[in-house]
Structure 1
Amino acid sequence: MSVVPFAIDIPPAAIADLHSRLDMARWPEKEPVDDWSQGTPLMALQELVVHWRDGYDWYACQQMLNDWGMFETEIDGVMIRFLHVRSPREGARPLVMTHGWPGSILEFRRCIAPLTRPEKHGGTAADAFHLVIPCLPGYGFSGKPAVTGWGVQKIAQAWGELMARLGYDSWFAQGGDWGSIVTTMIGAMPVPGCKGIHLNMPMAAPSAEDMAAPEPADLKALAALKHYQDWDSGYSKEQSTRPQTVGYGLVDSPVGLAGWIYEKMWAWTDHHGAPEDALSRDDMLDNIMLYWLTASGASSARLYWESFGAITGVQIDIPVAASAFPKEIIPAPRKWFERTCKQLVYWGELEKGGHFAAWEQPEAFVKELRAAFSLMG
């Protein structure tokens, strides 16, 4: 039941091993197309790897995480490691924020200061939050479940236990990607103590009426769903059916891991042609390192095996807020989503941003959270 500090301390030998593997990479031939339609282009990945090998500093990221303050506690046999950044304002609202795949706790890196110290970032004291940002089980620095059963429902319950151990009897929850699904389950179960949730990937299915007489928003969402199923969901099919098989390459080859994740940085961000338009190269490598250093290519993929399609038909009774970013993978129209909620208190429509909302558009994301949670007390 104890919660204790956790310090990240990656030895230089681990970085030397990474460099050796990058130096020894065996590359395929160049793709016979001039775009990303066959996956991560050879030249783009080689440029990323050159920077990774010769221009990137892991220890700056390690220092940043340790300065924020990481902690650990064991829940049902799995060590959960998390950031816990308290606001100087004692009356701040506790908020657990959950990342997804292929992201990490680093998605929230530029939101931590504005949310915990809002007066220094265009907000008021009433906008302050105490932040709890856990690594999902099997992701980043958290432990890897050794038994099945760690799906989104169990993670939702674990987050409730985590917040209770930190002394938070009343709290809020936020998430995108798998974090959105975990947060949806927190609201749907509901997990004791949670007073409201915010999602930046609201998920819902169309009704028979939507399909019979689709409006423009329906057609846009259905087209995005078809594109995802036809051209963008191969990774999820592999991870939800054979996570161990794909895991061998992701854990053994840094180039293979980078190509697997970097392609999603391209596919899921709001950019002008290259992922670097939306996310800095160092930021993307920091995120990739949380998978590489912890050898979590297989363990993170197992969440797909455990929980793919888990929130079909759920209903949420507690207050819900959602923010729709224009380049989300599958945009769910408000009318689809509001059928899943008894209390949809806020719906934001953003002009820019993609799947990694907090990472791509931190200022807009913070404003959405302030507006949403101000309506929940």
Structure 2
Amino acid sequence: MNIRPFKIAVSEEQLNDLLARLKLTRVPRSLDAESWDDGASLAFMERLISHWRLGFDWRAQEDRLNSFPQFIARVGELDVHFVHEKGKGPAPMPLVLTHGWPGSFAEMQEIIPLLSDPAAHGGDASDAFDVVVPSLPGFGFSQAPQHRGVSSKRVAEMWSELMTGLGYDRFGAQGGDIGAGVSMWLGRLYPKQMVGLHLNYIPGGFLPPLGDGSPPITAEEEAFRTRAASWFATEGAYSAQQSTKPLTLAYALSDSPVGLAAWIAEKFRTWSDCNGEVERVFTLDQLLTDISIYWFSGNVASTLRIYKENRSEPLKFNERERVEPAFGMALFPAELPTPPRSWVERVFDVKRWTPMPKGGHFAAMEQPQLLAEEIRAFFRPLR
């Protein structure tokens, strides 16, 4: 496998172009500047835009991200960007962490050292991991797909190739959002390679065997289906757009940094455990680092399109199909609608299912210590 070192180096031309666009921003009218009822709050967005123009230091964030060892590997037909942080311990376990949308590899900044060097953060060195954090194809600094078909299933195939190319015959997988789907596909496609799967989200497209001889739906499972349908009716417009007509949306988000910021920031507020106040959980710099990675990549269309690919290739299982690797779940209270354990046990070998005390969809950013401790606990007996 062709692997080369990588450092983020956004050009001055890109930075100047961004600032010029921000200066010419035309914001919409709002019936209530403080309200989020109709989408991203005008008052919040004006504050975010001002900070992006006048207070945000991309170069400082770039240096912070570049403190991690980063590489580009040729995986299949694409160049894949990844962080590879070797563990400090007697026998570090290889672990691939996969982000989702609207996140990025930058989500993992806080949790990487907790997993790679637990002894330096109050843990046990025997729990250390060799941590690999790839950027999904077309996200961040990974090359965008040039053809259809790059779904979460295809990404799982690529991650298997990447980890094998790094010398790891067996490894664990962890993820949320799209990263959860990639991890589940890894367990399904490569059971002999996988030590175990740990998630902090169950993808909405996950469909275990239902009907045709499968056990009947329980009351708890039916309540989940009702809850999920209600959530999608009020909060799922983004997914419907991205999974049907992503390119139409991409014209706006590729041309307007503020449009992109509004589209992303609203999700960080809605999906996090912030009680409606996004800055209680994320700083403006954290939000803008993630948003800037999307902007500077120039690949907004591909970050949206994976929703359409996953709609074409859902994570649907056949009657009596089982996935062998051990499965663990950290259930954060502000997470999107999550199926009950019995729903997942129809397919997966659930060894650990842990309700968490606080946190939401972006667990690695919101509660890195809690998530790291749970990941360590899940994989400890599998080493």
Post-superposition Cα deviations, 1:204-237, rounded to whole Å, max 9, x if no partner, equal 558679997624x863x34541332111111111
Deviation at 1:2, TM superposition (A): 1.3
Mapped partners of 1:33, 1:226: distance in 2 = 30
> What residue in structure 2 maps to residue 38 of structure 1?
38
> Alignment partner of 1:73: what SS?
strand
Mapped partners of 2:150, 2:168: distance in 1 = 23
Mapped partners of 1:14, 1:90: distance in 2 = 44
Q: Residues 76 and 43 (structure 1 numbering): CA distance in 2 closer, same or farther, change over 3 Å?
A: same
> What residue in structure 2 maps to residue 270 of structure 1?
273
> What residue in structure 1 maps to residue 135 of structure 2?
135
> What residue in structure 2 maps to residue 324 of structure 1?
331
1:1-377 matches, cutoff 5 A: 1-32=1-32, 35-89=35-89, 91-190=91-190, 192-203=192-203, 214-215=219-220, 219=223, 221-222=224-225, 224-308=227-311, 310-313=314-317, 315-341=322-348, 343-377=349-383
Mapped partners of 1:16, 1:192: distance in 2 = 49
**Contact persistence 1:173–1:196 (CA under 8 A):** yes
Q: Residues 224 and 268 (structure 1 numbering): CA distance in 2 closer, same or farther, change over 3 Å?
A: farther
**Contact persistence 1:139–1:299 (CA under 8 A):** yes
Mapped partners of 1:213, 1:131: distance in 2 = 38
**Contact persistence 1:87–1:116 (CA under 8 A):** yes
Q: Which amino acid aligns with 2:119?
A: E
Post-superposition Cα deviations, 1:105-150, rounded to whole Å, max 9, x if no partner, equal 1111111111111111121011100110000001000000111111
Mapped partners of 2:216, 2:50: distance in 1 = 48
Identity %: 37
> Alignment partner of 2:201: what SS?
coil
> Alignment partner of 2:276: what SS?
coil
Mapped partners of 1:3, 1:105: distance in 2 = 18
Q: Which amino acid aligns with 2:380?
A: S
Mapped partners of 2:368, 2:354: distance in 1 = 15
Deviation at 1:68, TM superposition (A): 0.6
Q: Residues 58 and 33 (structure 1 numbering): CA distance in 2 closer, same or farther, change over 3 Å?
A: closer
Mapped partners of 1:191, 1:83: distance in 2 = 24
Q: Which amino acid aligns with 1:306?
A: E
- The more displaced of 90-99 and 194-203 is 194-203
Deviation at 1:7, TM superposition (A): 1.3
> Alignment partner of 2:39: what SS?
coil
Mapped partners of 1:223, 1:270: distance in 2 = 22
Deviation at 1:305, TM superposition (A): 1.1
Q: Residues 68 and 337 (structure 1 numbering): CA distance in 2 closer, same or farther, change over 3 Å?
A: same
**Contact persistence 2:34–2:42 (CA under 8 A):** no
Mapped partners of 1:297, 1:345: distance in 2 = 37
> Alignment partner of 2:80: what SS?
strand
Q: Which amino acid aligns with 2:126?
A: A
Q: Which amino acid aligns with 2:264?
A: I
Q: Which amino acid aligns with 2:6?
A: F
Mapped partners of 1:294, 1:87: distance in 2 = 29
> Alignment partner of 1:241: what SS?
coil
Q: Residues 124 and 181 (structure 1 numbering): CA distance in 2 closer, same or farther, change over 3 Å?
A: same
Mapped partners of 2:215, 2:269: distance in 1 = 31
> Alignment partner of 1:374: what SS?
helix
Mapped partners of 2:227, 2:59: distance in 1 = 39
> Alignment partner of 1:45: what SS?
helix
Mapped partners of 1:41, 1:271: distance in 2 = 15
Q: Residues 284 and 145 (structure 1 numbering): CA distance in 2 closer, same or farther, change over 3 Å?
A: same
Compute the TM-score of the two structures, normalised by the length of structure 1: 0.94
Q: Which amino acid aligns with 2:331?
A: A
Q: Which amino acid aligns with 2:332?
A: F
Q: Residues 333 and 210 (structure 1 numbering): CA distance in 2 closer, same or farther, change over 3 Å?
A: farther
The number of equivalent residue pairs is: 374
**Contact persistence 1:81–1:135 (CA under 8 A):** yes
**Contact persistence 1:95–1:132 (CA under 8 A):** yes
Unpaired segments of 5 or more residues in structure 1? none
> Alignment partner of 1:81: what SS?
strand
**Contact persistence 1:111–1:363 (CA under 8 A):** yes
Q: Which amino acid aligns with 2:285?
A: D
